[in-house]
Amino acid sequence: MKILVIKRDKLGDLLLATPMLAHLKASLPQAEVHLLASDYNAWVVDGSPDIDRRWIYRRVRNGNRVSIAAALGLVAQGFALRHQKFDWAVVANGEDSPRATARGLSVRAARTVAYCADASRYPRLTDPLPVQPKMHEMDRMLAMLAPLGVAPPREPLFPRYVLPEDAAGFARDWLAGRGLRAGGYIVLGLGARRPKKQPSTAQVLRWSAYFRQAWGLETVFMWTPGKSDNALYPGDDDVAQPVLEANSVHIHPFRGPLREALGLVWSARTSLFPDSGLMHFAAASPGGVLGFFAETDVSPSPVHWAPRGRSVDYLEAQNSVADLPDDLVFQRLRRLVG
């Protein structure tokens, strides 16, 4: 049996699909499992033992730029995928995604699974599934295996990321250069497209002071590089600047690439992140994460996107993370700090 899983979403979305890939391979060990992902997110599953072959495509549109070479590459890849004659194509989106479903149907697998609100829109879709609005994204991915005869896992599964050695080596060198040790600090991060999900400058300063006084832990302050008005990849430089200007001796700023950031997260005692891809990566790390959600009537909810892992928790603010009381944050962190 040959199965193609299509995952064209963001980094955190692919990470949340890793339990599905693991459960699929464990349940059907003789099956040949392929993954179709983009050049943006495919690295998330580097080293995964659950994938027999990866198909990586270049994105045709990057901001306002359109790549003719990438478009031609997609056409050639489409022919190659159809030549594989897959038994199943699984369009691994938790919502109805016309573009992703069209991509799945173009493979012309014997059977195709996808979530959709109206099956009549996809006449060739053999296994339409009703969208599950109150189910976590990770569970929605696992539920897509039912048409293949794969029952839900008996034991809890969690997202998995294999930290590359170069990222771990970077973290060791970076920490040594600042007199820090693995497990001797907490990562406190920004990184959410809605400012109300982010802790305020005053909170960052108060919390980091408390970490030092109560637990003897330094703070690695992390944020997404770039300006907030960047349409493709909004950054948090402007939000981080007031924290940097405070010149706190126990705050160690890190503004760098994502993979190096993950090396620091993996060596932290624990982490705090707003709802974002970094939150989900931190949930998969040894120290776990305390995640922040806010304004969930107009913003993603923990019902769908709460961190999943062996050592995780989250707080939901009705309006803004800036409104969360310090005592509540410290109470939730104590268990994670251990």
Domains observed in the chain: 2-148 (3.40.50.2000), 165-337 (3.40.50.2000)
pLDDT band, residue 232 (cuts 50/70/90): low
Residue whose entry in the numeric block shows the structure tokens 């924290």: 243
Phi, psi of 217 (to 5 degrees): -110, 135
Distance CA 271, CA 239 (A): 19
- Beta-carbon contacts of 134 under 8 Å, excluding residues fewer than 6 positions away, are 303
Report residue 59's pLDDT band, with 50, 70 and 90 as the boundaries.
confident
Structural contact between residues 142 and 20, judged by C-beta atoms closer than 8 angstroms: yes
Cβ atoms 67, 58 nearer than 8 A = yes
SS3 of 328, please? helix
Q: What is the pLDDT of residues 99-147, one digit of tens each?
A: 999 999 999 999 999 999 998 999 999 999 999 988 999 999 999 999 9
Q: What is the pLDDT of residues 315-331, one digit of tens each?
A: 999 999 999 999 999 99
Q: Which residue has the tokens 């478009």?
A: 71
Tokens of 315: 């707080």
What is the residue-averaged pLDDT of the chain? 93
* DSSP string for residues in 172-229: HHHHHTTT--TTSEEEEE---SSGGGSPPHHHHHHHHHHHHHHH--EEEEE---S-TT
Mean pLDDT of 293-300: 86
Look-up of token digits 């019902």: 303
pTM (two decimals): 0.94
Q: What is the pLDDT of residue 231?
A: 59
Helices 258-266, 165-176: crossing angle, 10 deg rounding: 70
User: What pLDDT, on the 0 to 100 scale, is given for residue 63?
Assistant: 63
Q: How confident is the model at residue 300 (pLDDT cuts 50, 70, 90)?
A: confident
Name residue 309's amino acid. Answer: G
For the chain, percent of residues with pLDDT exceeding 90? 80
pLDDT computed for residue 133 by the predictor: 87
Task: Classify the C-alpha dihedral 300-15-226-243 as positive or negative.
Answer: positive
Q: What is the pLDDT of residue 58?
A: 84
Query: Given this model, what pLDDT does residue 229 score?
Result: 64
The angle at the Cα of 186, spanning 183 to 189, to the nearest 5 degrees, equals 140
Q: What is the pLDDT of residue 248?
A: 93
Structure tokens, 127: 């296994």
Please report which helix (H) or strand (E) contains residue 93, including its range: none
